[in-house]
Copies of this chain bind each other. A is one copy, B any other.
């Protein structure tokens, strides 16, 4: 899936910033692509970019309106349809990550047919992939893996991309989830791909590249999550990760949505190396990224020092302390 920037971020009339998380994330990571926001009366989220009408957005070169909010249930509220139809009639493409397919709504399907604009349903994967081949391809890849879901895998991969690019390194974030697809303008929501094509989809997402090029591949789930481990394993095999960073949230007691306790970071390193060696025998853990927001600063620093010592790799909180050390390590190990 390829989504053309620049974007107009549609936030609807959601009651808080949390409901606009996707839109705010796109603005955070791709401010240069986000020309403006479109908000309906009563909207309590604000991406702090110019409020633009559809007409003004078109005049400023916007190509795609991204629905960056969700309401409860992930369906499209009927009173958002007019804005989507207006965007299509003005020639914009429209992209959403909602559970409703845009084309399933007759007014929207008709408007897209009239204007020839594209509809992107990021949560659905209509693209046909090949099955993964596992044949080693050129280019370097760093995958973020986790002790659980929602422990900062996307954020860490994006932070690595930003830091690498600031150092002049050739690096691309590679999206495997819907928000990531909006942020990179390309990718696939890997959890929606038919099970046989997980690793093949990742081979497409992070294709053969220059030997000095880094892909920062967004991880999903955890090899230890009883709901989603299959996704994580296919992703690992497809990524052919040279390096991986383990993401962790130290205060969580059970994995998201299930009754299982979290694995140790050691468990995750060992199983990731054991399984990842199938498609890249040189796979290595190069860092640990901890979400320390529940800890005080001193406590966080102590924990990170302990983890760095125990696992002999840099450990940081990407949000609190940045990812400099993680990139230092990649540069020193891989020389590029």
- A residues touching B (Cβ–Cβ < 8 Å)? 125, 131-135, 190-196, 198-200, 223-224, 226-235, 237, 257-260, 271, 274-275, 278-279
Say how far A205's CB is from chain B's closest CB, in angstroms.
Answer: 13
Chain B residues within 8 Å of A275, by CB? 223, 229, 271
CB–CB A258/B135 < 8 A: yes
Say how far A173's CB is from chain B's closest CB, in angstroms.
Answer: 20
Say how far A123's CB is from chain B's closest CB, in angstroms.
Answer: 10
**Of the residues B133, B198, B260, contact of A258 by C-beta under 8 Å:** B133
Chain B residues within 8 Å of A132, by CB? 226-227
Q: Once the chains are docked, how many angstroms separate the CA of A131 from the CA of B226?
A: 9
The 3 A-B residue pairs whose C-beta atoms are closest, nearest first, are A134-B226, A230-B234, A191-B196
Q: Once the chains are docked, how many angstroms separate the CA of A324 from the CA of B135?
A: 40
Residue of B nearest to A135 (CB): B259
Other 12 A-B pairs with CB < 8 A, given A200-B227, A224-B278: A131-B228, A131-B257, A132-B226, A133-B227, A192-B195, A194-B194, A195-B195, A195-B198, A199-B226, A199-B228, A230-B230, A271-B274
CB–CB A194/B196 < 8 A: no
User: Given A131-B227, A191-B194, A196-B192, A278–B257 Cβ distance below 8 Å?
Assistant: no
Q: Once the chains are docked, how many angstroms separate the CA of A23 from the CA of B199?
A: 31
Q: Once the chains are docked, how many angstroms separate the CA of A131 from the CA of B227?
A: 6
Chain B residues within 8 Å of A223, by CB? 233, 275
CB–CB B135/A196 < 8 A: no
Residue of B nearest to A255 (CB): B134
Q: Once the chains are docked, how many angstroms separate the CA of A257 from the CA of B275?
A: 19
A-B contact pairs, 21 of them (CB 8 A): A131-B227, A131-B257, A134-B226, A191-B195, A192-B196, A194-B194, A195-B195, A195-B198, A196-B227, A198-B231, A199-B230, A200-B227, A223-B275, A226-B279, A229-B278, A230-B234, A231-B234, A233-B233, A260-B278, A271-B274, A274-B274
Chain B residues within 8 Å of A224, by CB? 278
Q: Once the chains are docked, how many angstroms separate the CA of A193 from the CA of B231?
A: 12
User: Given A135-B258, A278-B229, A278-B260, A190–B199 Cβ distance below 8 Å?
Assistant: no
Q: Once the chains are docked, how many angstroms separate the CA of A192 from the CA of B197?
A: 9
Residue of B nearest to A235 (CB): B230
Residue of B nearest to A279 (CB): B226
Say how far A274's CB is from chain B's closest CB, in angstroms.
Answer: 7
Say how far A306's CB is from chain B's closest CB, in angstroms.
Answer: 26
Residue of B nearest to A201 (CB): B195
Q: Once the chains are docked, how many angstroms separate the CA of A224 from the CA of B271?
A: 13
Say how far A194's CB is from chain B's closest CB, in angstroms.
Answer: 5
CB–CB A260/B198 < 8 A: no
